[in-house]
Structure 1
Amino acid sequence: MSSLSLTSCSLSRRRFLKVSSSLTALGVAGAMLPMGMGRAFAAGEAGEVLSGSHFGVFYGKVEDGRLASVRPWEKDPHPAEMLDGVQDIVYSASRIRYPMVRRAYLEKGPQAERDSRGAGDFVRVSWDQALDLVAKEIKRLEDEEGPWALYTGSYGWRSAGRMNPQAMLQRLFNLMGGSVSSSSNYSKAGIEAIMPYVMGMIEAEGPQTTFKTVNEHSDLVVFWAVDPVNNNRISNTIPSHDEWNWIDELKAANKKTVFLNPVKVESCNDLNGEWIAIRPQSDVALALGLCHTLLSEDLYDKDFIADYTYGFEQFADYLMGKGSDGVEKTAEWASEITEIPADDIRDLAHRMVAGRTMIVSGWSTQRQHHGEQFPWALVTLASMIGQIGLPGGGFSQRYHLDACGAPVTNGPSIGSPISAGKRKETKEWPEEKGAQIIPVARVVDMLEKPGESYEHNGGTHLYPDVKMTYWVGGNPFHHHQDRNRMRKAWKKFETVVVQDIEWTASARFADIVLPAATTAERNDIEMVSPTCRKALLAMKKIIDPVFESRSDYDIFSALADKLGIGQEFSEGKSEMDRIKEVYEAAKAQAAGKKVEMPEFDAFWEQGILEFEVPEKNRDYVKHAEFREDPLINMLPTPTGKIEIYSKPIEKMGYTEDCPPHPTWIEPMEWLGQKDKTYPLHVNSAHPKYRLHSQLAGTKVREQYTVAGREPCLINTKDAEKRGIANGDIVRVFNGRGQVLAGAVVTDEIRPGVVRLWEGGWYDPEDVSDDNTICKYGDVNVLTPDIGTSRLAQGTSAATCMAEVEKFKGEAPAVTVFDAPKDAA
């Protein structure tokens, strides 16, 4: 490569963009080919391999067989600060190096005591011995009990790439006779449940009105409980980071922006936006107050309501106090709940209808008690404003992830190389054995209440009596709530198998631990920002698996052999065979669009394919067709319209926790309670420097920890009241548990609120103590484990109150990032 090569993975953004511009000017970045296919020049130096991660496309530098460093792809507009962690995770002290078995389990199998789970007493075994133990237990339970005794609810963001280990796990167990699995996710179960009833679709998926259209047509952009700058650093696939260009363009255009958030988030600072510090969990009340203002002052779009919505009359009666509660939802009423002055609420309503307004929401507001209500209220407010389907107007529920506002290219979508397949019915599944699929956030309820009934999305089901779980590509001891309750319930499992990269708390609370390879140690394929289909990436193996780790496909193929279903599982196909199949299917799909793609070997050598954006896609407006003709382009709802009132939900009878129209329902605990046990709301936002719990076990942690622990943002006034100074170790506690954290005193968080990022690794001081302190700062020690409502049964992690005090005495050392003894 020329002297303009990028040699450091820690370039400043200014330097990086300068060099990238130089490369582009020289034509190094590649040229567009005919038929709409772009050939991106993989400008790697000698010893570099192009691949991808949840943090972006990157080059891995290999020296003496080791992954020595990483640097971003030259076309990444804003390389993620945590990309170094992709290299460090391979060799970190927390890496799972060998197959390990808990000593008690190795001695007594599923009859072993379970109290020592988490204590770190593991024994190194061979791969053959470990897989024999796993296979033996799967066979025993399938034969003696049945598939309802096995839980493969593995959930998590796994590694980037289409070789999905969770699909492999389901395939394996389906070939054996099946297992209990899970539905939805912890991220957006509430919005996934409610939006099909309101819009007939999950609005949080698929392309959104393009950033370009917002920039050109919006007069006001309201960011409601969302921080795109923070969240778009990562992706559940591979991010393109195109959203950063949008933020830069919004700023350059000097667009008016409002941020409704208890924290002055990074995006607000970048855009110099107006910060309205709303009281946590009062978002529905604010939406109702805005709706009431539009209704009572006759400012709402009556034509849009009449032509495009159903059930407004019932909702209007509720706003005016004619509902069962008899309370008028005035701006004054909303002000008491939100602590936003009534005049400011009215002013915001006036501004929303004075020009073209785009309302951008995130998902945090639906991860709370009665979380289904806010997405519904937001759509209702947007309907009253009447700009849905117009350029720069309406709402979006996904600008915070995966470049969903970028225009869609003419490239193909790609599928999965591994099909979970159908359950091989070796046994009938009697109804009394319980549900085959449970809501993912109800796993602890399932463990505590086998045979008991629960309601979910209009149905009544039974919890199965599970005895074993196999977890891959996820970290339940991060994403589930009420850790102490979970620890007790986890003992219900006779056997816990965890297949992972690092010694997370989930691995530490397992009986059998299998070391998986990182993305740097295996081959894969993935679309960069798949919603807009920006580019197809060959994720090449950079180095061979280190220590005794194996790729997930190799592990499951070997386990399938032990179970006597090896040929059925692999179908005689290698990992590369399956990757090639994905490519060939995409190539055939592209041909149907008259987009030419090279042969697989040429693609693999080339490394990445970029696709063109058809000009018409640059100005895409979501729901424009519906607005143009609501009869021909009816929504897939019972009425074909936006359902402000839902008769299907009415028939479910969920009056107390999910009524048939958007409703303010007081959460189980919040700042507005008259008799609060704990005075501070705990905000558990997504972290800035990692993806959930991923990369916490790497050197990236050095960028954000305070006193070696998770940072705890606390308002200056709250800190002064408690004698807390910046950098102090604090104890955050409530009736569910206690954690240590490092104080960050700031005025960029609302008084009465503290912030602990989710994803901090759980580090219990004493696993024999039911209320042991977490030494590092896992916020889910504090959060409640309750469903949003009977509709979604999603997580309510954003509903949490606690107290904070300065920790006195010598703080216990953080040990969770070191492998258990005998495992290094």
Structure 2
Amino acid sequence: MNGPPGGRPHSSHWGAFHAAHDADGLRVRPDPADPEPSPLLDNLPGFTRARVTRPHVRRGWLTGGPGPDTARGTDDFVPVDWAEVVPLLAGELDRVRTVHGNRAIFGGSYGWGSAGRFHHAQSQVHRFLNALGGYTRSVNTYSLGASRPLLRHVVGSDAPIAEPTTYPVLAEHTGLFVCFGGMPAKNAQVNAGGVSRHGAAGYLRAARARGARFVLVSPLRDDLADDLDAEWLAPEPGTDTALMLALAHVLLTEDRHDEGFLARHVTGFDAFRGYVLGHTDHVPKTPDWAAAICGIPAARIASLAREMAATRTMISLSWSLQRAHRGEQPLWAGVALAALLGQIGLPGGGFGHGYGATAGTGAGVLPYRLPTLPQGINPVPDFIPVARIADLLLNPGGRCDYDGQRLTYPDIRLVYWSGGNPFHHHQDLARLRRAFTRPDTVVVHEPYWTATARHADIVLPATTTLEREDIGGAKEDPVLIAMHRIAEPQGQARDDYAIFAALAAELGVAEEFTRGRTARQWLAHLYESWRAGLAPEHAPAEDFAAFWPAGRVPLRGRRERHTLYAAFRADPDAHPLPTPSGRIELFSRTIDSFGYDDCPGHPAWLPQDPPDPAFPLHLIANNPATRLHSQLDHGPHSAAAKIEGREPLRMHPADVAAFGLRPGEVIRVRSAVGSCLAAVVPSDGLRRGVVQLATGAWFDPSAPQAATCVHGNPNALTADVGTSRLAQGCTGQLARVTVERLTAPPPPVRAHGPA
């Protein structure tokens, strides 16, 4: 990351930096105050490749008009001018809302397009569609689809995600970290809104230097940094709940649980205890019982429970645990285990959800909001859990259970996607392709020819973050960044705001959308109105005129020493949780009343799919180390990790030999729903019988005779089912697969070329 001595300030989800762009290309200098800048900055020079440089309309839609079309995704595109495409799209928007109503418009976005507060694609598209009368929306995220609905019932809010005990407190007080799913350093490179200082790794090293011990519970050894000297327990994937229940069994039968804490701070303990001891189902959740399920020796399960009770223990529950079928259960069981230990609310004890998931988790939180573009009011009540997009498009009028409600899918005629790439996040990509053929019209704003753009009817060229001005900041970071323009827009690319402003003018809602402001005027307005609303001790001294050339202002008041639920522990009557009981709910009468067999009223080990000899391997499809999601997959840092242009598939050396494969060989990975090509990388850093393939390779279905995706996107393999009827979250973390050698040379990868 050799960069220019100066350059202009800018920010990204993976760090602040200075950069300059000229005839020699893009040169980047990491923020000098960042102790461990992310190597993902090395992907930024790829921002000029695979660009959409002018508006395009799919030929079949242009000649045949709107309507369902199986050619979507394979048809070619016709370049058009802005003067032609704006009234064309405005007319289609007007037709759909007039004929079918606003609920027939789905407003898709995912919010990771930029660290900027104004050019936040999700805010822009929602503000525009609200100005038109509303849209069908999605709720929750692919990352935390099961967590938020569950936590609302169990602890009343998402505080374990948003405000867990901070790293300085952990570094000082925690004696034992038990890391279910790990705390992967690769994920802590990124943070929504940006990060000026990457500090998580340093705090964990400080805890280790003080004498803290780490136990990693994960099929992947690199889910915790090597320098923490962790003990590695490698369970069968998806069996964490059974292991936690057995730990609870030891605490209960050996009288190592905290009766006083449970009596004062918990409701539903008797129901949970009865289940763990086998009183309700005649199956005691003993270490021997769990050992047969998860593969961890019973003696080690029992000794770990005793160690957890004997020292200040932090139970770390990764986001990956709940990205699987019935993903609510390990999270709930982890909360229950922490409650039994009775350390919730003590410095360095209790539980946290998402350490290592982002750079901001555990960093502390500002006590005020940051500048934010108002989205307006959406009068359309219809919504879906975000991971049910294919169901929505394929089953108009269909029904969906969600958190005690019975949702009805509207008949979606127009999909408007700005920011995000569902062909990265979603599962069973062959099914998603079918779903995208059903609407009348699909509109996408995109800088790049991603799979989502290639499956659209109208593709509008959007600028990248480097080609516009913005304000960068995150609620967990102590700096607000002036994001100066680094490069001129490629071709005819426009920012989302300019695109929506033109459409709003065509549709007669310009004033409602723009309020008469340019993008720069919006930046000044958002900054000054935010600054004026802060308490005097928090408000920056710099006005916008001073902030912009300075490049940054400090943000005051971040809570850097915080213990989750300290006030609740001290006095649960004065500081109750926002649950029906005011307590931690180990048994939820609300959830129990829903009658869901896949999410009962207390944490439970639920029946699993039986092993299938046709698919003997467990696939772990986790976040990549070389990019954020699928962003800049063609960037230098991401590209350097590929083998023959394919995503690497890690396998245990014994499995490589058992399947007769060679290191570096491009093979086919196949599941019950699809297949992809990937390159073999032997590694003893995973449990035998487990293979690992990172997400984020751009979906490439160009040679279906070879594989559903020839580039290595694991979501060609994962099943499109919800976690349970409670949350309907994403289950993309795990799949059952097999591997096989190719009988012909692998086809070329075309994912990064022009459409």
Structure 1 position 205, deviation (Å):
3.2
Cα distance in 1 for residues equivalent to 2:612 and 2:5: 64
Residue in structure 1 matched with residue 603 of structure 2 by the alignment: 662
SS of residue matched to 1:560: helix
SS of residue matched to 1:731: strand
SS of residue matched to 2:146: helix
Residue in structure 1 matched with residue 668 of structure 2 by the alignment: 731
Cα distance in 2 for residues equivalent to 1:416 and 1:618: 23
Structure 1 stretch 245-254 or stretch 122-131: which is displaced more?
Answer: 245-254
% same residue: 38
1:805 counterpart letter in structure 2? E
Write out per-residue CA displacement over residues 624-650 of structure 1, whole angstroms, 9 at most, x where no aligned residue.
Answer: 111111110111111111000001111
Residue in structure 2 matched with residue 76 of structure 1 by the alignment: 34
Write out per-residue CA displacement over residues 528-564 of structure 1, whole angstroms, 9 at most, x where no aligned residue.
Answer: x422x41111111122212111111111101111212
SS of residue matched to 1:221: strand
2:616 alignment partner, one of 679, 683, 688? 679
Write out per-residue CA displacement over residues 653-698 of structure 1, whole angstroms, 9 at most, x where no aligned residue.
Answer: 11x111000011134x4xxx25444111110111001111111122
Residue in structure 2 matched with residue 128 of structure 1 by the alignment: 83
Check the 8 A contact 1:590/1:597 in 2, yes or no. no
Unpaired runs of 5+ in structure 1?
Answer: 1-6, 10-43, 424-428, 430-434
1:666 counterpart letter in structure 2? P
Cα distance in 1 for residues equivalent to 2:499 and 2:685: 47
1:62 alignment partner, one of 21, 24, 27? 21
TM-score, L = length of structure 2: 0.96
Cα distance in 2 for residues equivalent to 1:557 and 1:394: 49
Residue in structure 2 matched with residue 196 of structure 1 by the alignment: 152
Check the 8 A contact 2:365/2:475 in 1, yes or no. no
Check the 8 A contact 1:502/1:697 in 2, yes or no. no
1:316 alignment partner, one of 249, 256, 273? 273
Cα distance in 1 for residues equivalent to 2:729 and 2:364: 31
Structure 1 position 445, deviation (Å):
1.1
Residue in structure 1 matched with residue 547 of structure 2 by the alignment: 603
> Is residue 2:97 matched to residue 1:160?
no
2:257 alignment partner, one of 281, 300, 303? 300
Cα distance in 1 for residues equivalent to 2:259 and 2:12: 48
Cα distance in 1 for residues equivalent to 2:94 and 2:450: 27
Residue in structure 1 matched with residue 441 of structure 2 by the alignment: 495
Check the 8 A contact 2:34/2:198 in 1, yes or no. yes
> Is residue 2:502 matched to residue 1:565?
no
> Is residue 2:101 matched to residue 1:119?
no
Residue in structure 1 matched with residue 400 of structure 2 by the alignment: 454
SS of residue matched to 2:724: coil
Cα distance in 2 for residues equivalent to 1:612 and 1:115: 54
Cα distance in 2 for residues equivalent to 1:794 and 1:484: 19
Write out per-residue CA displacement over residues 25-61 of structure 1, whole angstroms, 9 at most, x where no aligned residue.
Answer: xxxxxxxxxxxxxxxxxxx845x10000112101111
Q: How does 1:241-252 map to 2 (within 5 A)?
A: 241-252=198-209
SS of residue matched to 1:537: strand
1:70 counterpart letter in structure 2? V
Cα distance in 1 for residues equivalent to 2:237 and 2:538: 50
Q: How does 1:334-373 map to 2 (within 5 A)?
A: 334-373=290-329
Residue in structure 2 matched with residue 40 of structure 1 by the alignment: none
Check the 8 A contact 1:418/1:578 in 2, yes or no. no
> Is residue 2:620 matched to residue 1:626?
no
Check the 8 A contact 2:184/2:222 in 1, yes or no. no
2:490 alignment partner, one of 521, 538, 546? 546
1:237 alignment partner, one of 170, 188, 193? 193
1:8 alignment partner, one of 2, 20, 24? 2
Q: How does 1:32-431 map to 2 (within 5 A)?
A: 45-46=5-6, 48-63=7-22, 68-89=26-47, 91-92=48-49, 94-111=50-67, 114-119=69-74, 121-163=76-118, 164-239=120-195, 240-265=197-222, 267-323=224-280, 325-400=281-356, 401-408=358-365, 412-423=368-379
1:773 alignment partner, one of 700, 708, 712? 708
Cα distance in 1 for residues equivalent to 2:552 and 2:754: 36
SS of residue matched to 1:59: strand
Cα distance in 1 for residues equivalent to 2:141 and 2:223: 26
Check the 8 A contact 1:153/1:440 in 2, yes or no. no
Check the 8 A contact 2:538/2:557 in 1, yes or no. no
Residue in structure 1 matched with residue 747 of structure 2 by the alignment: 812
Residue in structure 2 matched with residue 784 of structure 1 by the alignment: 719
Q: 1:810 to 1:231 in 2, by over 3 A?
A: same
Residue in structure 1 matched with residue 637 of structure 2 by the alignment: 700
> Is residue 2:584 matched to residue 1:642?
yes
2:469 alignment partner, one of 492, 513, 523? 523
Cα distance in 1 for residues equivalent to 2:538 and 2:76: 59
Cα distance in 2 for residues equivalent to 1:797 and 1:803: 17
Cα distance in 2 for residues equivalent to 1:596 and 1:775: 51
Structure 1 position 577, deviation (Å):
1.9
Q: 1:479 to 1:563 in 2, by over 3 A?
A: same
Cα distance in 2 for residues equivalent to 1:245 and 1:268: 11
2:234 counterpart letter in structure 1? A
Cα distance in 2 for residues equivalent to 1:49 and 1:83: 15
Check the 8 A contact 1:278/1:339 in 2, yes or no. yes
Check the 8 A contact 1:203/1:397 in 2, yes or no. no
Check the 8 A contact 2:183/2:355 in 1, yes or no. no
Structure 1 position 415, deviation (Å):
3.5
Structure 1 position 594, deviation (Å):
5.5
Structure 1 position 765, deviation (Å):
2.7
Cα RMSD after superposing both structures: 1.8
Write out per-residue CA displacement over residues 576-612 of structure 1, whole angstroms, 9 at most, x where no aligned residue.
Answer: 2222222123322444335542111101111112245
Cα distance in 1 for residues equivalent to 2:511 and 2:63: 32
Structure 1 stretch 120-129 or stretch 151-160: which is displaced more?
Answer: 151-160
Structure 1 position 156, deviation (Å):
4.6
SS of residue matched to 1:241: coil
Structure 1 position 67, deviation (Å):
5.3
Cα distance in 2 for residues equivalent to 1:494 and 1:138: 11
Residue in structure 2 matched with residue 24 of structure 1 by the alignment: none
Structure 1 position 748, deviation (Å):
0.3
Residue in structure 1 matched with residue 455 of structure 2 by the alignment: 509
Cα distance in 1 for residues equivalent to 2:628 and 2:261: 40
SS of residue matched to 2:224: helix
SS of residue matched to 1:741: strand
SS of residue matched to 2:245: helix
Structure 1 position 85, deviation (Å):
1.7
Residue in structure 2 matched with residue 475 of structure 1 by the alignment: 421
Residue in structure 2 matched with residue 37 of structure 1 by the alignment: none
SS of residue matched to 2:554: strand
Q: 1:107 to 1:596 in 2, by over 3 A?
A: closer
Cα distance in 1 for residues equivalent to 2:545 and 2:97: 42
Cα distance in 2 for residues equivalent to 1:178 and 1:509: 24
Structure 1 position 130, deviation (Å):
1.8
SS of residue matched to 1:229: coil
> Is residue 2:694 matched to residue 1:757?
yes
In the alignment of these two chains, the number of paired residues is: 752
